[in-house]
């Protein structure tokens, strides 16, 4: 039986820029990534994948420093993009308004990149056992969870993940996908949780 353990991580907290540009990690985000690295130290990953945004690149670099010898790959398919051109009909007003903010180009390009990521990563390997780490963004983690559960396509909406929260999905040649853990932040102290989520959220 062949299995893939896919570790999905939302990048660390972003250093916010007034112009909304592509910024790296805040001080809190760097600490989140360092603690995640300690948790994953020694895990026998076959590869680390990350998207092109600076916050994902810096998170992946900090984690990879604890994984000597593990190859690191940059990939557009695990970047920050719209995972599905979801029909807003029947959705709550705030979701419909959110979806309306995407451009035609984003609606065309994003789902194709997501399909590439799913085809490459959401399957069992040809043989053996493989672990891979993907440092990505909230939307793509949500899509992989939805995909594993075979939930309706619109259910990627409303799945929110902590910065540096850890989700693990097991893909097997002998069984359906299995969610091992979702949005796990046991490696983060309380003061470094609840970033990337609504401001009144606490855990």
In this predicted structure, the answer to whether residue 77 has a pLDDT above a threshold of 80 is: yes
Domain assignment present for residue 203? The answer is no
Give me the domain span that covers residue 176.
3-192
Domain assignment present for residue 32? The answer is yes
Q: What is the pLDDT of residues 88-124, one digit of tens each?
A: 999 999 999 999 999 999 999 999 999 999 999 999 9
Domain assignment present for residue 34? The answer is yes
Q: Which of 139, 168, 167 is nearest to 155 (CA)?
A: 139
Domain assignment present for residue 197? The answer is no
Q: At 201, is the pLDDT very low, low, confident or very high (cuts 50, 70, 90)?
A: low
Domain assignment present for residue 198? The answer is no
Q: What is the pLDDT of residues 30-55, one digit of tens each?
A: 999 999 999 999 999 999 999 999 99
Q: At 19, is the pLDDT very low, low, confident or very high (cuts 50, 70, 90)?
A: low
At 186, which CATH number? Answer: 3.40.50.1240
Domain assignment present for residue 116? The answer is yes
Residues of the chain with pLDDT > 70, as a percent, come to 93
Burial class (CB in 10 A: 0-12, 13-18, 19+), 127: exposed
Domain assignment present for residue 151? The answer is yes
- Res 199: pLDDT: 57
- Token pair belonging to 110: 């994003």
Domain assignment present for residue 22? The answer is yes
Q: What is the pLDDT of residues 153-180, one digit of tens each?
A: 999 999 999 999 999 999 999 999 999 9
- Res 183: pLDDT: 96
Q: Considering its fold, how many domains does the chain have in total?
A: 1
Section 47-66 average pLDDT: 97
Q: At 1, is the pLDDT very low, low, confident or very high (cuts 50, 70, 90)?
A: confident
């Amino acid at each position: 039986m062949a299995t893939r353990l896919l570790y999905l991580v939302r990048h660390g907290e972003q250093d916010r820029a007034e112009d909304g540009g592509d910024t790296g990690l805040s001080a809190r985000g760097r600490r989140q990534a360092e603690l995640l690295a300690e948790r994953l130290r020694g895990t026998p990953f076959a590869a680390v994948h990350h998207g092109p945004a600076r916050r994902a690149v810096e998170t992946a670099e900090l984690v990879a420093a604890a994984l000597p010898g593990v190859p690191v790959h940059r990939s557009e398919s695990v970047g920050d993009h719209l995972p599905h051109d979801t029909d807003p009909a029947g959705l709550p007003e705030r979701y419909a308004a959110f979806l309306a903010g995407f451009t035609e180009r984003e609606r065309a390009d994003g789902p194709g990149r997501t399909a590439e990521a799913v085809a490459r990563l959401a399957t069992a390997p040809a043989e053996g056992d493989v672990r891979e780490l993907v440092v990505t963004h909230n939307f793509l983690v949500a899509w992989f969870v939805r995909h594993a559960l075979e939930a309706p396509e619109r259910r990627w909406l409303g799945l929110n993940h902590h910065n540096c929260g850890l989700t693990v999905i097991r893909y097997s040649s002998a069984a359906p996908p299995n969610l091992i853990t979702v949005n796990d932040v046991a490696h983060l102290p309380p003061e470094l949780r609840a970033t990337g989520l609504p401001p009144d959220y606490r855990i």
